[in-house]
Structure formats: structure tokens, C-alpha cells
Chains A and B, each alone.
Chain A
Amino acid sequence: MERPRDREVSDGELIPGARAGDVNAFATLVQRHQDFALRVATVALGTSQGADDVAQEAFVRLFRTIGRFRDGAALEPWLARIVTNVARNHQRGERRVASRWMRLAGQRTEQAASADHRLDVEAERTVVSSALAQLSTEDRLILTYRWYVEMSEAEMADALGCARGTVKSRLSRAMARLRAQLDAPNADLPRGEFT
């Protein structure tokens, strides 16, 4: 994933412009972080369907609230929190999140099975994806923040809107639940790999 430090103009240099209403400066931020926002939206929704609408709305909301963004802080935790909130609003009244993610993971399981697990790495990914599918949205998000986004505990606390101490315990419980899923009898992960 491309990180802000790899680019010529930093987020910190673009944010004051966006804060002053410069839509072009904000568009650069959108281009830079859209992949991140789409992935978080997909994790939060449990499906890629509608993830673009959620990410788009999240960026509009980010523009509106960027005046409250603390100078010097990382943008992605703040953005992740907005994406998650928008996704939650889209989900309200729906109760199909788990089944949608499971359907997505199930498709991958079938694909991997048809290849007779020729590629162990692919199979492992599939099994982890299937195990993630069994977790709650909150568990999937905190694991995504920790391992995919590589947020610090402080950043996760920001993104989740909780205390740093709570992050540690939540992460620990989410990892334990993921391990439990991987240990479940129907998990076809090669045993001993992650346990």
C-alpha cells in the first residue's frame, strides 16, 4: 500500500488547503486514500457491494469535518472511523452482513478447493478469510486496523473511539476468536500453521 511518506506532498501539507475549501487539494487526498477507504468499507460492510458509495460518502463527510482534524495526526485512523460510521449507517435496518461476507469467503473456498490446494499460500488466505467471515464486524475491523493498516494502539483507539487499554483487550479477544475459528473442525487450514 502506498504510504504518505512516499509522496512529494504530504497529507499535512494538503489538509490546510482542504480545510480552507480547496476541493483540488482534497481530491488529491481522496486519490491517495481511496484504496484504503474502499478496503475498510468492504471489511465493515462484509461485502464490496456498496463499498464505493460508503467510501464516497465518508470522503464527503471528511471534507466537512476536516476542520476538527488535529494537525500532525495521521489521517487514516480518522478516515477509518468515518468510513466505519458511514458503513454502520448503511447497515442499519439490514441484518445480512455476516451472510454476505460468508458468501464472499465461500466463493473463495470453492475456488481454492477446485485448484486442489495447489498453492498453499492461496489456501491459507482462503481459510483465514473464511475464519474472518465468522467474526463480528468489530473483530474484523480491529484485526484489519492492526495487521493491514498497521495502526499503532493510539491510532486504533482513535479509529475505534475507545481507550488505549481497551484496544489491547479487544485485539486480544479478536485474535483469540480468530484462532478458535481456525481450530474449528470445518476449518481446512493445514493444521499447525497458525496454532
Chain B
Amino acid sequence: MTRDVLDDELGDGIRDAVTDLDIPNVDLSSRVVATLTSTRRPVNQERSVWTRRLSLAAVAAAIVLGVLVTVPPTRSAMASWLGITTVTVTPVDERTDIDRDVEPVADDLGPTVPGAPTIEPIPALGQPDEVSDDATLGRSYLWRTDETDAALPGTDVHAVLSVAPVDGGTAFGKIAFVGDIEEVQIDGAVEAIWVSADHQLADSDPLLSGPALLWIRDGIRYRLEVADSKVRAVELAETVTLGTDLLPAG
């Protein structure tokens, strides 16, 4: 018998073994549709909700967060008066207003930390592939992957967690389509902002970010850019562990 015939016989055994596997008997379509419809709202609806929030509630929430949602020029005076400079999130009316022809955030994270800390800041993601320190974002933990699992098309980065102390931290801005910005809660209490699609991070040079979650907890600012749903991003955020070497030295 030739090797091919032998391979075919063994292949039949493999096929049977996989066919024989017990798999869950579930209707995934209803579960997937429920997930998609619970996390997506029509743009127009999103806009109207956001417009209402901008009147007072969003700004009030931003005060609690220490994250400022900047608003059109008519409210810029209020923003200035509030004096919150940690993060600004500027909504724009069109996705095309986001400049995508800029470098990804993950490619501009600053020098890699030698002898990277061995902690797993997000246990579900395991050991990060790289750890970097950056003047603006603080310490960043980075997990690499491939194209289908990347936070931004054309990159190989699945997730980036950046942590920095609020006191003395450098401010940065975000520019995002208004329909992609949503307020969420972590652990049912900590206010956070979820940007569900590609958006711009306005540092000294503009950078492009994938979906990202921003929150402040115990005086530390967190930014989690991740190729995942809002629900999964929040779940990941809820597991962030505060190791002694989570923050950059000094």
C-alpha cells in the first residue's frame, strides 16, 4: 500500500474521531444575535442619547471619572472651568473625521522595559509579550496575536493595557465617532468610557487606537485597547491585578 492510501485510512480515523466528539447542543444564532443587538445601537439613536448626555449627565460623570468628555466649542469654557486634564474624549460627527493614516498606538509605546515584570496584569490574557514605558501612557503591557485577532487591522497586537498614576500623569486626548462612545461600569461601580471602534489618540503626534476602555481606579488611570466586545473588555478590566510592579518605577 502506498503512503497516500495509509494516510487516507488514518485520515478516516481522524474524521470519525472528530465527528464523534460530543459538542454542546445549543442554538448559537439566537445567542449571537442577542449579543450583537445588545451591544449595537443605531447611530441615530446613539447620537440622540449622546446629545442628551452631553447636556449635563455626561459631563457630571466625567467629573467623577476624572476623564473629560470634551464637547463642541460652546462648552469648551465649561471644560476649562472644570480643570480636568487627565484624558479628553472629543466626539466627532463622522467616522471619516478620524484620521486613520497615522501610526498605531502599539507601535509608539516607548522603550521596552528590560527584564520585564513577570506579573500577569490581566490573568485571562496570560503573560504579556512586551512591557514598555512611555512618558504619556505610562507602563504598557502588550499581547501580540495575528490579523484576525488584532485590535487594529494590519497589526499583530491583540491587547494593550496602559497604566499611569493620575497625579502627575501626562494628559492625552481621544477623538472618536460620537456613536462609538459609551459609558459603562466596571464591577458595577467604577465609571468607564468604552470606545467601540478605531479612533484617534491625540498625543504629541496623532496615533490610531483600536477599541478601548478607559477608567480610573484608586488614583490610577487605565487604558485597555483590545480586540474584543464591550462585555469582554469590561470582564477583562474587572480582573486587572495590581502588582507592586504594575506601574513604572518612580
The majority secondary structure among interface residues of chain A is helix
| Residue of A27, A30, A42 touching B23 (CB-CB under 8 A) | A42
Q: Are A23 and B18 in contact (CB under 8 A)?
A: no
Q: A27-B32, A175-B10 are in contact. Are A57 and B229 (CB under 8 A)?
A: yes
Q: A51-B24, A57-B229 are in contact. Are A26 and B18 (CB under 8 A)?
A: no
Interface size bracket, B side: 35 or more
A134 at the interface (CB under 8 A from B): no
Q: A43-B21, A148-B15, A161-B147 are in contact. Are A179 and B10 (CB under 8 A)?
A: yes
B20 at the interface (CB under 8 A from A): yes
Q: Are A26 and B125 in contact (CB under 8 A)?
A: no
B12 / chain A contacts, CB cutoff of 8 Å: 147
Q: A52-B24, A148-B19 are in contact. Are A194 and B229 (CB under 8 A)?
A: no
Q: Are B24 and A144 in contact (CB under 8 A)?
A: no
A121 to B17, CA, bound (A): 11
Interface size bracket, A side: 35 or more
B16 / chain A contacts, CB cutoff of 8 Å: 121, 124-125, 128
A48 to B228, CA, bound (A): 22
Q: A56-B32, A63-B36, A125-B16 are in contact. Are A92 and B126 (CB under 8 A)?
A: yes
Q: Are A55 and B28 in contact (CB under 8 A)?
A: yes
Q: Are B18 and A85 in contact (CB under 8 A)?
A: no
State the Cβ distance, A143 to closest chain B Cβ, in Å.
Answer: 5
Rank and list the top 5 A-B pairs by shortest CB-CB distance, nearest first.
A92-B126, A128-B13, A85-B149, A147-B11, A30-B29
B residues apposed to A, CB below 8 Å: 6-7, 9-24, 26-33, 35-37, 40, 120, 123-126, 145-149, 153, 158, 227-229, 232
A residues apposed to B, CB below 8 Å: 21, 23-24, 26-28, 30-31, 34-35, 37-39, 42-43, 48, 51-52, 55-57, 59-61, 63-65, 68, 78, 81-82, 85-86, 89-90, 92-93, 104, 108, 121, 124-125, 127-129, 132, 143-144, 146-148, 161, 175, 178-179, 193-195
Besides A85-B146, A92-B126, 8 more A-B contacts (Cβ < 8 Å) are: A31-B27, A31-B28, A34-B29, A39-B23, A48-B22, A61-B148, A124-B16, A132-B17
- 28 A-B interface contacts by CB (under 8 A): A26-B36, A27-B33, A30-B32, A34-B26, A38-B24, A38-B28, A39-B21, A52-B26, A56-B35, A57-B229, A57-B232, A63-B36, A65-B148, A85-B145, A85-B149, A89-B124, A89-B149, A89-B158, A93-B123, A93-B124, A124-B16, A125-B20, A132-B17, A144-B18, A147-B14, A148-B15, A148-B18, A161-B148
